[in-house]
Amino acid sequence: MRTHIASLVCLAVLAITSDARAQEPPASLAVFPPEVNLSTSRSRQVFVVQAVYPDGITRDVTAEAKAALVNPAFAKLDKNVLTPVADGATELKVEFGGKALNVPVKVKDATVERPISFKLDVMPIFLRSGCNQGGCHGAARGKDGFRLSLFGFDADGDHFRLTREMNGRRINLALPRESLLLEKSQGKVPHTGGQKIKDGDEYSQNILRWLDAGAPLDPPTVAKPVALELYPKNAVLDGKGAAQQMVVRARYSDGTDRDVTALALFLSNNDTSAKISPAGVVTAGDRGEAFVMARFATFTVGSQVIVLPKGLQFTFPPVEERNYIDTLVNAKLKKLRIEPSGLCNDETFLRRVHLDVIGVLPTVEEYQRFMTNAAPNKRELLVDDLLGRKEFAELWVMKWAELLQIRSSNQVSYKATLLYYNWLQDKIARNAPVNEWVQELLGATGGTFKNPATNYYQNETDVLKVSENVAQVFMGMRIQCSQCHNHPFDRWTQDDYYSFAAFFAQIGRKGTDDPRETIVFNSGGGEVTHPLRGVVMKPKFLGGDTPDVAGKDRRVVMAQWLASADNPYFATNLANIVWAHFFGIGIIDQVDDVRISNPASNPELLAEMGKRFTSYKYDFKKLVRDICLSRTYQAATQANPSNEGDTRNFARAGLRRIKAETFLDCISQVTETKNKFPGLPQGARAVQIADGGVSTYFLTTFGRATRETVCSCEVKLEPTLSQSLHLLNGETTTQRIASGNLLGRRLADKATPEQVIEELYVRCLSRKPTPKEMSKLSAAVAAEPDKNKALGDLFWALLNSREFMFNH
């Protein structure tokens, strides 16, 4: 009974706040689109009105706002739809909650009929209705005997297939209504896909108009869409059920624009928080953040939608901001009404930063030194110290070796692999600016022994794969899809793909004195042909210009653009890769899956880091230093109620399983045992393994990258049963404890069990045991006559503890 009353009370409170919101005057008002252009008689424009309240909450007030045309002679207003009447200009006046706004309205060619267009009017229907999806007619072999190009990348081909491929069947120009195209899509005859459009609706009418016109193919002069706009750009919805209508407008090459809300395909990357209907209405769900997208022609654009619990009361606490990272992370958290976790303690920081920066645990001495250091800036001093250590370079050589696929194979000898690895190590150890060595790598010419950077082009010799790899590693783009069709979730078209591949079409390779060596050079000949159109593609930067490559090494031209500020993706991509290393998750995640439909969780932060990295002259260490010194990085892992559900906004530190190589090195370090890997001297660390082909059972089990692909997903951090069993029973723990004989030596040195327990804790976990742990453990050890065995058990237990396995 009491609960019932309580919930009634809650409801009443909710009602009050909701009402309060309705009556409260908004801080500002916005109308989308910000201006209305109507051209030709069929043109129309839907608009939405968004009210922004002082606390940042937004509401779609289109229905409540008063709207009227200043001069109704030029246009007609029906609810929120404007249609042309006569040529001229006027304004739409919108009023709500005491705020008013005038939107310019221009009308042109009000009585001119725009001729029906296959590409502009019919093709979008196929995309919107799902006809050309991969599961339907867009499949490589079509569906039920009829094929359309996937997501409409080949409009000319689709026109051919509709009108010519099966004469007199798919369309019927004598009786257009009886065309199979219409009958199937309207479900009048059996259609596996069911009814997609209704007889008489806008889509049916457009198809019919096209058929009535004789099913023409557009003249080559027909305008092409050049940009897409989705309004509003962002929305903060207050509680479940709040809604926001979206408006989509396309801009064309002839300068016109068009309301394509009815033709766009809407998607949301988080249906739980913000679901979007086919008509473009976003409905709020659970608390969270979503990116809603509209797809039209080859464009995908998105808007950010934040959903908050109804009536949430929140004040952002005062949080220290040590640098721009904290400022930008906190700005996002404020928007989300999330409070960051507190600062981690010194012990945690010491262990975390050691593992992240140099891939080894702090030694007992390092622990003592840091913990007893009273300097207020001791964390900063520690970071600077670690950045200067050789292990820092080794850790990042490994990271890059994964991305550059440094691995021996039938084509690449172990010697070449080692030389390549050492070349990279030298660059990183000397902190060579990243753009410089990337340019050197991608423009490399010479023998694979004499100039080891050329091995980049020996590891992968397929022109298309090389271009895909370059895009994925250095720009974070997966352009593979656009090899066969326009990228479904990104902007890349086949033209972009093959134009980029043209940079790698002139790589010459020849043998030399040593059978294991290959000379990579600019052959000056070779082109890439567009498979659909059969034309030779001019080299064009991905998302950039078409440079002059005549008489030059195309790769050098490409490398100079790629690793420079001219390429908007290079610096941010590297910054994202570095960020992901320290947080376990990228600002864009996965780091090599940069696309419009996978937006950055904090675009401002990513952009700023990219800008800083560029201004640092691509000094990698400076970027790492910024991250490590930020409060964001030094946050504790413990969640507070506001951030416990958040995983993407860095409100608290994440728990990260230590990578295979580093983990093995940690075990070797704490047990004082040595590794032996093929091709490396005794005692080498696992991060030093040059050849991706070399592995051990331990490394494979814990997910070491095989470097067979450039994918960041090669490194596996998921727990598996074999990992647990190996640590419980395998040679890596028990045998190493025995062969390292650390306990034997300590006991021989007359150390007390308590001293040994404390050392083991500091060695493995970089902390002292709690008094409770100590009292229980010393009692247990005291009860066991064989001290070595008892302490060995403790050592084993520590190595098997989650606290040891994770960086926290």
Partner 1 sequence: MIHAPHKLLAALFAVALSASLAPASSPVLGSVTPRGGQRGVDNVILFNGARLTDAVEILTYSPGFTVAKLEVVNDTQLKATVKIAADCRLGEHVFRVRTKTGVSEMRTFWVGNLPVVQEVEPNNDFAKPQPIPLNVTVHGVIDNEDVDYFVVECKKGQRLSAEIEGMRLGNTLFDPYIAILDSKRFELAASDDSPLLGQDGMVSIVVPADGKYVIQVRESAFGGNGGCAYRLHVGTFPRPLAVVPAGGKFGEEVELTFLGDPAGPFKQKVKLPAGPVEKYGVYAQDAGGVAPSPIPFRLSEFGNVVETEGNISHATATPFELPSAVNGVVSKPGEVDHYRFKGKKGQTYEVHCYARRLGSPLDSVMTIGYLNGGALVSNDDAIGPDSYFRFTVPEDKEYVLTITDHLHKGGPTYFYRVEFTPIQAEAVVGIPKVAQYSQERQAIVVPRGNRFATLVQVGRRDFGGPLVLSAEKLPPGVTWTSENMPANLDTIPVVFEAAPTAPVGALVTSLTAGHVDPKLSPLKSRFYQMAELILAPPGQSLYWKAEASQAVVAVTEEVPFKITLVEPKVPLVQNGSMNLKVVVERQPGYKAAITILPLWNPPGVSSAQSATIPEGATETTLTLNAAGNAEVRKWKTAVIGVATVGNGPVHVSSQMATLEVAAPFFTFAMERAASEQGKDTEIFCKIQQVAPFPGSAKIRLMGLPTKATAAELEITKDTKDLAFKVVVDKTTPPGQHRNLFCQAVVMLNSEPVVYNVGAAELRVDVPLPPKVNAPVATPLPVVAKPADPVKPPEKRLTRLEKLRLEQEEREKAAKGDTTEPEKKK
Per-residue tokens: 734 = 């028990």
Q: Which is nearer to partner 1, 177 or 516 (CB)?
A: 516
State the minimum distance, in angstroms, from the CB of residue 553 to partner 1: 10
Q: Which is nearer to partner 1, 372 or 410 (CB)?
A: 410
State the minimum distance, in angstroms, from the CB of residue 457 to partner 1: 14
CA gap 574, 434 in Å, rounded: 9
In sequence order, what DSSP letters do the residues of 77-106 get, joined into one string? EETTEEEE-SSEEEEEEEEETTEEEEEEEE
Q: Which residue has the tokens 């074999």?
A: 722
CA gap 624, 608 in Å, rounded: 14
Q: Which is nearer to partner 1, 449 or 504 (CB)?
A: 449
State the minimum distance, in angstroms, from the CB of residue 556 to partner 1: 12
Amino acid at 481: C
Three-state DSSP state, 693 = coil
Given a contact cutoff of 8 angstroms between Cβ atoms, the answer to whether 58 and 26 are in contact is: no
Closest CA to 341 of 10, 638, 745: 638
Q: Which is nearer to partner 1, 267 or 680 (CB)?
A: 680
CA gap 515, 530 in Å, rounded: 35
State the minimum distance, in angstroms, from the CB of residue 420 to partner 1: 11
CA gap 649, 535 in Å, rounded: 46
Closest CA to 280 of 297, 299, 260, 300: 260
Q: Which is nearer to partner 1, 417 or 499 (CB)?
A: 417
State the minimum distance, in angstroms, from the CB of residue 516 to partner 1: 6
Q: Which is nearer to partner 1, 256 or 512 (CB)?
A: 512
Given a contact cutoff of 8 angstroms between Cβ atoms, the answer to whether 138 and 132 are in contact is: yes
Closest CA to 237 of 96, 18, 22, 60: 60
State the minimum distance, in angstroms, from the CB of residue 672 to partner 1: 21
State the minimum distance, in angstroms, from the CB of residue 661 to partner 1: 19
* Burial (CB count <10 Å: 0-12, 13-18, 19+), residue 543: middle
Buried/exposed code over 254-282 (b: 16+ C-beta within 10 A; e: otherwise): eebbbbbbbbbbbbbbbeebbbbeeebeb
Per-residue tokens: 314 = 């929140």
State the minimum distance, in angstroms, from the CB of residue 691 to partner 1: 9
Q: Which is nearer to partner 1, 479 or 520 (CB)?
A: 520
- Distance set, CA 139 to CA 16, 163, 300, 351, 630 (Å): 53, 19, 21, 51, 49
Given a contact cutoff of 8 angstroms between Cβ atoms, the answer to whether 60 and 245 are in contact is: yes
* Burial (CB count <10 Å: 0-12, 13-18, 19+), residue 559: buried
State the minimum distance, in angstroms, from the CB of residue 454 to partner 1: 11
Q: Which is nearer to partner 1, 418 or 711 (CB)?
A: 418
CA gap 17, 15 in Å, rounded: 6
Q: Which is nearer to partner 1, 194 or 681 (CB)?
A: 681
Per-residue tokens: 64 = 């409540």
CA gap 258, 250 in Å, rounded: 5
Q: Which is nearer to partner 1, 446 or 544 (CB)?
A: 446
Q: Which is nearer to partner 1, 447 or 703 (CB)?
A: 447
What contacts 108, CB < 8 A, 6 or more positions away? 37, 38, 39, 40, 87
Q: Which is nearer to partner 1, 3 or 682 (CB)?
A: 682
Per-residue tokens: 94 = 């919108």
Q: Which is nearer to partner 1, 585 or 680 (CB)?
A: 680
Q: Which is nearer to partner 1, 523 or 770 (CB)?
A: 523
Give the total residue count for the chain: 808
Three-state DSSP state, 165 = coil
Residues near partner 1 (CB under 8 A): 410-411, 413-415, 417-418, 445-446, 449-450, 510, 512-516, 519, 521, 679-682
State the minimum distance, in angstroms, from the CB of residue 511 to partner 1: 8
Closest CA to 257 of 224, 233, 217: 224
State the minimum distance, in angstroms, from the CB of residue 446 to partner 1: 6
Q: Which is nearer to partner 1, 414 or 616 (CB)?
A: 414
CA gap 238, 244 in Å, rounded: 11
Cis geometry, peptide bond prior to residue 25 (ω within 30 degrees of 0): no
State the minimum distance, in angstroms, from the CB of residue 699 to partner 1: 19
State the minimum distance, in angstroms, from the CB of residue 414 to partner 1: 5
In sequence order, what DSSP letters do the residues of 457-512 get, joined into one string? HHH---HHHHHHHHHHHHS----GGGGTS--TTSS--HHHHHHHHGGGTTEEEEE-
DSSP 143: B
DSSP 326: H
State the minimum distance, in angstroms, from the CB of residue 449 to partner 1: 6
Q: Which is nearer to partner 1, 415 or 611 (CB)?
A: 415
State the minimum distance, in angstroms, from the CB of residue 693 to partner 1: 13
State the minimum distance, in angstroms, from the CB of residue 406 to partner 1: 13
